[in-house]
Amino acid sequence: MIDAFTVAASQPWAMTEDALRNLLAIADRGGDIEALQTKLGSQLKDTRRASIRDNGVAVVPITGPIFRYANLMTELSGATSTQVLATDIQTALDNPAVRAIVLDINSPGGQADGIAEMGRAIHAGRARKPIVAYAGGTMASASYWLGAAASEIVIDRTAIVGSIGVIATFQDRRAADEKSGVRTIEIVSSQSPDKRPDPTTDEGRAKIQSVVDALANVFIADVAAYRGVTPGNVKEKFGRGGLLVGYAAVAAGMADRLGSLEETIASLGSRAPNTPSRSSNAPAARAGDSYSWGTAFDRAAIYEARRRM
């Protein structure tokens, strides 16, 4: 069988070197085992990735880096598209044979574009059917944003959870370009003086920092609302941008309990339908919220802010 990395590496790509390197790294991990399922379900009708067990529990995977739109690489490498995720979850909610949904998460995060909207959709779905997020490996950054929106979070003792925050990275290639004789000249419209903030200056870093902080505030506010705590609690007790393992994440309030995937599926299958969720406080849209930057979270699809602004 030809693996995703071989397919990707053999194709011509019209993209930047850094973006292609990231894509190949995603493809190279396509064969990873994402979760320990001891029983296989059947494909849930009209979904791309969801399955359904005999007890009426639908399992929807959220694996690998998260992107907004589905394409060849998300299909081949096991990455997740929120476009596909949204339709699969909605189909499970609409299917009368499905009594509960498990989001089987093993992801380091991904693009912010569409994540807040997807989180609100998951949170709204809790009023119709129980939606439980399970993590046996990693539930970090954007994937934790989604998991927090579920009715309950169950994690394995070795699961790593958190990484709440936003990161922007920059590559200053000017010295290398000068050595190679390349000179880049940019002309920015005079009406838009802040379109190209220079991260090598204090003023430029401050402008970029304000945008990163604004995105992080949306992330933190959503997690706080979903978990029924204050934003201050999230900032102080939910890892401070770091990762917590297993019981430590439960003790901090980032997850609800320890367990296995099969235990979670069995428990939901025996639970009465429409069991009330832990919290019904959906975060309202806030003036100034913006998700069009394509900002990335930590180890997934690092955002090249200077090139995209």
Q: Where are the domains of the chain?
A: 4-308
Res 246 pLDDT > 80: yes
0.75 cut: is pTM over it?
no
* Whole-Å CA distances, 128 to 90, 100, 101, 102, 203: 11, 9, 11, 14, 48
Distance CA 203, CA 61 (A): 42
> What is the percentage of the chain residues whose pLDDT exceeds 70?
70
Maximum Cα–Cα distance for the chain, whole Å?
A: 69
Q: What does the pLDDT average to over 261-269?
A: 87
Structure confidence at residue 193 (pLDDT): 80
Look up residue 128 and give its amino acid: R
Structure confidence at residue 308 (pLDDT): 33
Structure confidence at residue 124 (pLDDT): 93
Q: What is the mean pLDDT of the chain?
A: 75
- 125-157 pLDDT, tens digit per residue, is 999 999 999 999 999 988 999 999 999 999 999
Backbone angles phi, psi at 51, to 5 degrees: -130, 165
Give the CATH class of 4-308. alpha beta
Backbone Cα Rg of the chain: 20
Q: Concatenated DSSP letters for 60-110?
A: EEEESSEESS--HHHHHH--EEHHHHHHHHHHHHH-TT--EEEEEEEE--B
Structure confidence at residue 272 (pLDDT): 54
pLDDT bin (cut points 50, 70, 90) of residue 46 is low
Res 167 pLDDT > 90: no
